[in-house]
Structure 1
C-alpha cells in the first residue's frame, strides 16, 4: 500500500475516532503511530520517530509562554479584575442606549488584554454582567448573547492562548502574532459595540424596552483606583513585548508577577486561592502540552505520507487561487467548529494546510489570524459551542435555555463573519502594524 493511501486511511480513522468520542490528542497519537508503522514497516522505528517529534514539540524555550500566560490569566480572574474592568467600562458607557451591553463588550476587551482565555471571560462575565443587564431591563436572550459574543475577544486580542498555540505549531514569532492580533481584535470589539447600539434602537424587543441607565456614577478617584492596575498590567505585558523590553516568555513572567502583586496589594488573594490557581495552571499547561505533542506527531506522519503535498498539487491544479482556497478553508474550519473545540480544530487542520499554503506565498502570520477568527466562530455555533455551554453551566437561572444562549449569540457570530471577510479582503488589518 502506498504511503499516500496510508495517510488517507489514518486521516479517516482519526475522524471516526473523534466522532466516536475519543479525546482528540489520543486519536491523533494512535493514528500517527499506526500510520508511521505502516509506512516504515516497523513499530520500533515508528516509536523512535514519534518520540523525537514529542521532544521537539516542547523542548523549545518559547513553550514557556503557555504556563506563564495561563498563570497570569487565572490570577487576574481570581483577584476580581474582571469586575473592576466591568465597573470602569460601564461608568464610561452608562449614558448610551444599550450602554450596559457596550460596557460588557469593552470590559471583555480589557479583560482579554490581560488573560487571553475566552472561557475565563465567559465564566467571569456571566456572573457579573448578566444579572446587572437583567436588572436594568435587558432581555435574557440578549444578556447572555452579548456575554457569549464578546467573550471570544479573549482569543483574538493579545495575549491569546490560541495565537500562542498557532505560533508553536507553525514556528512563527509569537510577538508578531500578538501584534497582528491587535487590529482584528479592536475591529471585532468596535463591530460588537456598534452592533449592540444598533440592535438597541432597531430591535428593542430583542435587546430590551425602557432600558434604564446602566451602572452607577463613579468619581474620578474611583475610576483611577479600579482602572489603573488593569492599565498598568496591560502596559507591562504588551508594551514590554512591542517596545522590545521583554520576549513573550519574559512578558508572561512579568505579567504573572504583576497580577500577583496587585492581588496581594488589594488583599484579594490568599494561600488557598493561590494554591487553587497553581493547580489549575498546571492542569491547563499539561493539557496544552499533550495537545502540542499530539499535533507534532500527527504533522510528522502527514509529512511522511505525502498527503499535504498531494493536496497542495490538487489545490494548485484546481486553480482556486489564494482567496478561493482561504474561503474553502474557513468554511471547513467553521463547520468543524460545530462539533470540535478550538484547539482540536487547529491541531487537525493547521499541520495539513501548512505545506499547501507555504508554496503559495501566503503570509503565515495573516493566515494565523484568519484561522483563529474562523475557529472562534465555532465557539458560538451549535451543537458544540463551548462558550455557550460554559455560560449555561455558570448561570444560576434555569429559565434561560441553551437555545436562548445560541439565539442570543447569533448576531455576534454574524458580526464575526463580517470581520473575517474584511480581514481576508484587507490583510493589512492584521499585518499593517508589522509593516507588511
Structure 2
C-alpha cells in the first residue's frame, strides 16, 4: 500500500472521528500516532508523541493560553460583560435596532478579553437576549446578532485561532493579535450596518429602546472603563513593544482579577470554579496543539501536502484564482467541521502555497480566522447557532439560521475588502514597536 493511500485513509479516519463528534485533539492524536506507526514503526510513533507532548506542554509561548482564558473567565464571572453591554445600550439603545447594535458592540468589547467565540456568545447572549425580547425584537434579528457578534471572539485579540495559526506556521503571535484589530472593528461595523438595513426595511424587526439621560450614559461608561482600561494596557502594551504577548496575558489576567476582587464584583469563593474552568479549557486547547504536532509529521510522511501543493500550482489559476479556490474549500469544510481542526488539517498544505504566491502570512492568518468565523454560523454545524439556541430555548433553529444569514454575507464582504485592501490587516503590525 502506497504512502499516499495510507495518508488518504488517515484523513478519512480523521474526518469520520470529527463527524462522530469525538474530541478534536484526541482524534488528531490517535490518527497521527497510528499513521506514523503504520508508516515508520512503533518506535518512531512513540518517540514523536512523547517528544511533541513534552515540547508543547513546556513551551513558554503557550503559557499565553491559560492566562488569557483566565482573564476571560474572571471578566465573565465579575459581570464585566454586562457593564460593557449596558454602556453600549445607554448610548445607542434608543435608536431603531439599537439594542442589536449594542449587542454587537458588547460582543466586540468582551471579545478583547475572552478569546473565545462560544464564551462571547453565551456571556453577551444571556444579557442581551432578554432585553431584546422585552422590547419586541424579532427572534431572528435578536439571536442572529448574538450568534454573529459572538464570532468576533476569535478575531479581536486575544484569539485562540491566532494562537493556533501562529503555532502551526511559526508566525508571531503578537503581530497576529495586532493584525486582527482593524478587521475586527471593520466586521463589527458591517454587522451594525446589517442591523440598520434590516430594521430600515422592516422597522418592526428592531423597535427603538428606551431613552437614557446623559447622566445614565456617563455612569454606564464609567462602570465599563476598568475592563476597557485592562484591554488598552494589555493589547496596547503588545503594540508598543512594552510587553511580549505572554507578559500581556499575565498583566491582563492579574489586573482583571485584582479589579474583580478589589471592587467586590466577584467573591473570592468563585475562584476555585473559575480556575477549574480555565484548566479544562486549557487542557482542551493543549490537546489540540499536541494532536496537531503528531498529525503533522504523519501528513509529511505521506507526501500529501507536497503533492496537493504541486497539483494546485499546476492548475495555472494564478495567485488570486488559487486563493479563491482555497477560500471556497474552507467555507465548504466549515459547514461540517470544527474551525480549529480545519486549520490543523489544511495548514500544512495551504501555507506553503500561500507563501509561494507571495501573500503575507500575517494577512492570511486574519483571512483564515474570518473564514472560520463564517463556519461558526453556517449550517449544518454552526456551533454558535447551537450555543445561542441553548440561551434562547424557545426560538427554533431555522429561525436562528435565517437570522444569521445577513451577517454571513457581511463576513463575505469583509473577506472581499481584506483581499482588495490587505493593508487593513497588515498596517498595524508594520507599525509595531520592538
- For normalisation by structure 2, the TM-score amounts to 0.94
> How far off its partner does 1:23 sit?
2.8
Q: Does the Cα contact within 8 Å between 2:33 and 2:45 map onto a contact in 1?
A: yes
Q: Does the Cα contact within 8 Å between 2:28 and 2:288 map onto a contact in 1?
A: no
Cα RMSD (Å):
1.8
Distance 1:134 1:309 in 2: 53
Where do residues 75-94 of structure 1 align in structure 2 (5 Å cutoff)? 75-94=74-93
How many pairs are equivalent? 430
- 2:141 is the alignment partner of 1:135: no
- Give the corresponding residue for 2:37: 37
Distance 2:235 2:211 in 1: 29
Q: Aligned match of 1:428 in 414, 423, 426?
A: 423
Distance 2:397 2:213 in 1: 34
Q: Does the Cα contact within 8 Å between 2:162 and 2:177 map onto a contact in 1?
A: yes
Q: Does the Cα contact within 8 Å between 2:335 and 2:378 map onto a contact in 1?
A: yes
**Moved segments of 4+, more than 4 Å:** none
- Give the corresponding residue for 2:164: 165
- 2:50 is the alignment partner of 1:51: yes
Q: Deviations over 1:281-335 (max 9, x none)?
A: 0000001000000011111111222111111111111112222222222222222
- Give the corresponding residue for 2:397: 402
Distance 2:31 2:100 in 1: 46
Please give the secondary structure, in 1, of the residue aligned with 2:180: helix
Distance 1:5 1:135 in 2: 57
Q: Deviations over 1:239-291 (max 9, x none)?
A: 11111111111111111111111111321212331111100000000010000
- Give the corresponding residue for 2:146: 147
- Give the corresponding residue for 2:60: 61
Distance 1:30 1:394 in 2: 34
Distance 2:291 2:263 in 1: 41
Please give the secondary structure, in 2, of the residue aligned with 1:404: helix
Q: Aligned match of 1:217 in 210, 213, 230?
A: 213
Distance 2:316 2:58 in 1: 39
Distance 1:401 1:312 in 2: 42
- Give the corresponding residue for 1:19: 19
Q: Does the Cα contact within 8 Å between 2:19 and 2:337 map onto a contact in 1?
A: no
Q: Does the Cα contact within 8 Å between 2:98 and 2:208 map onto a contact in 1?
A: no
Q: Aligned match of 1:226 in 223, 227, 236?
A: 223
Q: Does the Cα contact within 8 Å between 2:151 and 2:376 map onto a contact in 1?
A: yes
- 2:185 is the alignment partner of 1:156: no
Mind listing any 5+ residue stretches in structure 2 that lack a counterpart? none
Q: Does the Cα contact within 8 Å between 2:99 and 2:132 map onto a contact in 1?
A: yes
Q: Does the Cα contact within 8 Å between 2:261 and 2:268 map onto a contact in 1?
A: no
Q: Does the Cα contact within 8 Å between 1:116 and 1:158 map onto a contact in 2?
A: yes
The change in CA–CA distance for 1:364 and 1:57 in structure 2 (over 3 A counts) is farther
Please give the secondary structure, in 1, of the residue aligned with 2:380: coil
Please give the secondary structure, in 2, of the residue aligned with 1:158: coil
Distance 1:268 1:73 in 2: 14
- Give the corresponding residue for 1:344: 341
Distance 1:281 1:173 in 2: 24
- 2:351 is the alignment partner of 1:383: no
Mind listing any 5+ residue stretches in structure 1 that lack a counterpart? none
Please give the secondary structure, in 2, of the residue aligned with 1:303: helix
Distance 1:96 1:406 in 2: 25
> How far off its partner does 1:190 sit?
0.7
- For normalisation by structure 1, the TM-score amounts to 0.94
> How far off its partner does 1:165 sit?
1.7
Q: Does the Cα contact within 8 Å between 1:4 and 1:305 map onto a contact in 2?
A: yes
- Give the corresponding residue for 2:361: 364
> How far off its partner does 1:134 sit?
1.8
Please give the secondary structure, in 2, of the residue aligned with 1:212: coil
- Give the corresponding residue for 1:292: 289
Please give the secondary structure, in 2, of the residue aligned with 1:383: coil
> How far off its partner does 1:358 sit?
3.2
- Give the corresponding residue for 2:179: 180
- Give the corresponding residue for 2:188: 189
- Give the corresponding residue for 1:419: 414
Q: Deviations over 1:6-55 (max 9, x none)?
A: 22222222223333443332222222122212322x21222213322333
> How far off its partner does 1:224 sit?
4.3
Q: Deviations over 1:160-194 (max 9, x none)?
A: 12111211222111110011101110110110111
> How far off its partner does 1:96 sit?
2.6
> How far off its partner does 1:218 sit?
5.2
Distance 1:122 1:342 in 2: 16
Q: Does the Cα contact within 8 Å between 1:155 and 1:372 map onto a contact in 2?
A: yes
- Give the corresponding residue for 2:199: 200
